[in-house]
Amino acid sequence: MKLTINGTGYVGLVTGACFAEVGHHVLCVDNDAAKIKLLKEGGIPIYEPGLEELVKKNVAAGRLSFTTSIAEGVQKSDVIFIAVPTPPQPDGSVDLSFIERVARDIAAAMTDYKIVVDKSTVPVKTGEKVAETIKRYCPAKVDFDVVSNPEFLREGFAVCDLMKPNRIVIGVRSQRPVAVMKKIYTPFNAPIVVTDINSAELIKHASNSFLALKISYINAVAVLCEATGANVQEVAAGMGMDERIGRPFLNAGIGFGGSCFPKDLSAFVKIAEQIGYDFHLLKEVQRINAGQMERFVKKITDTLWVLKDKKIGVLGLAFKQNTDDVRTSPAIELCQRLQKEGATLRVHDPKAMGKARAILSNVTYVDDMNDVAEGCDALVVATEWDEFKKLDLERARKSLSHPIMFDGRNLFDPGEMGRLGWIYKSVGR
Ligand code: NAD
């Protein structure tokens, strides 16, 4: 099938590559000319495991191409996806101007029936607004359908999640686009849930808010563990074996971040507020998340006392492992908090240093994780990269003025760290 995707970012590019991989012909559109130029020259603007190979393979096979022209995208395909940003506004509500802009541009170029599919995460009832906008701005007054098809990929596992999805959600206002949408997704062998548009939009916000809630829940339990001498990882393991609960998203730490959970949570709280419901439960999820960062910074200052003129090594800048994404990264926030207290920082991340440089200055970027501790007073783990578990602990211990580690992601075993001579502080253990 011929498909167009507007927005060639973490969602749009990976979706485009995976659609091409299963045999569709995909045109990825972006209004960032530099990004499209890079892609046309064989570069990849983001890091996502397996993505580079997939893009190169499908470009070579002639199934994946790139353009800055929305009109070209509309002309060449019958199904037009939208995967543009939906960033938060200062009051927590969603900035829908990117969606509105792209809907208008699609409408302006439509000369025959199209299916316009929203993949961006949007507040309930956005589909109705998109349909109104297309109707208003389409000079040819042609027939069309709007579909909500929320995306559930996890950054760092995006290719895997797209190729093997748990479920595909398709929200429609008529049956007409259902067969086409099912045909697009048939090669992925996943259950397809067909709902009305409002329900599809709510499924996405309700899912992300629930996952964030799970993280805040275990972080709250971690506070009790710390106060009672219990071990939150053992508690999470025991809880997670109950299939009604499940182990994923029960990792205590310095809290969730990234471009989705904080903004989707705020949006959901705001949506509820607009219809007169005070979603206290989710406000508490936000409060607990902010508290985790406070508690971790306090743990550092309680131990090191004055941070002014202290040198701290930080492992991790990405908001989680396997990605170069630093948007709303707790690791970056932690670095900024430590800088504000007067500490100087040596930092390392396997993939995110390039993107971090744009938002985190006055730090020393270190290429090798084993060099980070050099001349520092303490080491901090801020992102759960698997490779940090292979840190040369003996070398790090000798490089530090005192062998102190604050592990915000519980990567190491407290007993083992004690035996190795470390003063080791983690979360909930
Ligand atoms: P992104 O910032 O990585 O990519 C968005 C792209 O859209 C950018 O390249 C931008 O240049 C482009 N763009 C903006 N305006 C445009 C326009 N008018 N025409 C064409 N392109 C335009 O964002 P993302 O992380 O891919 O997120 C996109 C949407 O998907 C958001 O609503 C997000 O909440 C949702 N989502 C994200 C994830 C994730 O893990 N990143 C997962 C699920 C859903």
The 10 Å Cβ neighbour count of residue 342 is 11
Give the residue ranges of the chain where pLDDT is below 50: none
Residue 154 and residue 239 in one domain: no
Q: How many domains does the chain have?
A: 2
CA 293 to the chain's CA centroid: 19
Share of the chain above pLDDT 70, in %: 100
What is the pTM (predicted TM-score) of this model? 0.96
CB 183 within 8 A of CB 193: no
Sign of CA dihedral 78, 79, 84, 87: positive
Residue 33 and residue 175 in one domain: yes
Q: In this predicted model, what pLDDT tens digit does every residue of 172-212 receive, in sequence order?
A: 999 999 999 999 999 999 999 999 999 999 999 999 999 99
What pLDDT does residue 29 have? Answer: 98
Range of the domain at 62: 2-190
Query: Could you tell me if the CB of 104 is within 6 A of ligand 1?
Result: no
List the beta bridge partners of residue 195: 171
Query: Could you tell me if the CB of 6 is within 6 A of ligand 1?
Result: yes
Residue 228 and residue 125 in one domain: no
Residue 262 and residue 180 in one domain: no
Domain contains 195: no
Instruction: Compute, in angstroms, the gap from residue 334 CA to the centroid of ligand 1.
Output: 25
Q: In this predicted model, what pLDDT tens digit does every residue of 67-106 receive, in sequence order?
A: 999 999 999 999 999 999 999 999 999 999 999 999 999 9
Residue 332 and residue 304 in one domain: yes
Domain contains 205: no
260: annotated active-site residue:
yes
Please give the Cα distance from 112 to 192 (Å, whole number): 27
The 10 Å Cβ neighbour count of residue 242 is 9
Residue 119 and residue 90 in one domain: yes
Q: Tabulate helix, strand, coil % of the chain (nearest 5).
A: 45, 15, 40
Q: Which residue shows structure tokens 């910074």? A: 297
Residue 229 and residue 274 in one domain: yes
Domain contains 24: yes
Residue 185 and residue 220 in one domain: no
Domain contains 203: no
Q: Which two tokens stand for residue 28?
A: 């990825």
Q: Best substitution site from 5, 10, 327 to test ligand 1's pocket, by max atoms within 8 Å of Cβ?
A: 10
Instruction: Compute, in angstroms, the gap from residue 85 CA to the centroid of ligand 1.
Output: 4
Q: What is the CATH number of the domain that holds 249?
A: 3.40.50.720
Residue 131 and residue 219 in one domain: no
Query: Could you tell me if the CB of 153 is within 6 A of ligand 1?
Result: yes
Last residue of a domain, which of 160, 190, 220? 190
Characterize 129-145 residue by residue with b for buried, 16 or more Cβ atoms within 10 angstroms of its Cβ, and e for exposed: bbbebbeeebeeeeebb
Domain contains 197: no
Q: In this predicted model, what pLDDT tens digit does every residue of 280-302 receive, in sequence order?
A: 999 999 999 999 999 999 999 99
Nearest one of 379, 383, 391 to 356, comparing CA atoms: 383
Domain contains 196: no
The 10 Å Cβ neighbour count of residue 293 is 17
Nearest one of 329, 333, 334 to 351, comparing CA atoms: 329
Query: Could you tell me if the CB of 103 is within 6 A of ligand 1?
Result: no
Q: Best substitution site from 27, 30, 263 to test ligand 1's pocket, by max atoms within 8 Å of Cβ?
A: 30
CB 230 within 8 A of CB 53: no
